[in-house]
Amino acid sequence: MDRHEWDEQSAESGGQQVVWAVAESGIGPLLLAATADGLVNVVFHATSGVRERALERLASRLGAEPVEAPGSPVLAEAIRQLEAYFAGERRDFALPLDWSLISGFNRQVLRELASGVPYGTVVGYGDLARRVGQPQAAQAVGVAMGANPLPLVVPCHRVVESDGGIGGFGGGLETKRTLLALEGVLPEPLF
C-alpha cells in the first residue's frame, strides 16, 4: 500500500488507518502494526490465534479495522530494521512510534527506557523508577513493562531485577534470555 492509497483509505474510513504485517524473527513471528503516526504495536509469538486476538484489540482500541499491508513504508522499514537487529547489524531502532496505546506514568517510563537504556545494557526496575522521578515506584515500572505495546523496539527486555534476577517478560523468559544474549548481556545457553 503506497502513501496515496493509505491517505485515500484513511479518508474513506473517516480517520485512522491501521496496517499490519507479520515478520519472522530470531524469536519467532512478530506482528507489527502501524498508523500514519508510526509503529503502534509489536506482538510476540504471532501465530494465527495470537494474531487474530491482537488485531481485534487494535481495532477496538484504535477504532479502525487493521489492514494487512507488509509493503507499507513504516512496516517495510520496521521489518528491515528488525532483520538487521537479529543479524547483529543494528543496535537501535530509528522508527517513528505511535504512543497512542499507552499514557501517563507508563508512557513516561517507556519513553525513558527507549531513550536512556542502550543496546547491551540493562537497568533495574527501581533505577528506572528513579530516572522518572518516582523512586518508590519500582513495582509500577514492572506494570509499565507489562503494558508496553512496542516490546523489542522499546526494549523492556533490558529491565531486570536489582538482585541480578532476570525479571518477568511478556514474551516469555526464554525470549528475554535470547534477546539479552543477542545483545551480549547474558551468555548464550549451552542447550
User: 115-174: per-residue pLDDT in tens?
Assistant: 999 999 999 999 999 999 999 999 999 999 999 999 999 999 999 988 878 888 989 999
Give catalytic residues, as residue numbers.
Answer: 156
Which pLDDT does position 35 carry in this prediction?
A: 96
What lies within 8 Å, CB to CB, of 120 at 6+ separation is 91, 183, 184, 185
**pLDDT tens-digit map of 65-98:** 999 999 999 999 999 999 999 999 999 999 999 9
Distance of CA 35 to the CA centre of its chain: 14
Which pLDDT does position 16 carry in this prediction?
A: 74
Which pLDDT does position 187 carry in this prediction?
A: 66
Which pLDDT does position 14 carry in this prediction?
A: 45
Average pLDDT over residues 99-122: 96
Amino acid at 11: A
Which pLDDT does position 188 carry in this prediction?
A: 57
Helix ranges (H only) for the chain are 3-12, 48-62, 73-86, 104-116, 125-131, 138-146, 173-182
Query: What strands lie across the sheet with 19-23, from one edge to the other?
Result: 38-43, 30-35, 19-23, 67-68
Cα–Cα distance between 125 and 122 in angstroms, integer? 10
Which pLDDT does position 1 carry in this prediction?
A: 42
**pLDDT tens-digit map of 15-39:** 579 999 999 999 999 999 999 999 9
Average pLDDT value for the chain: 89
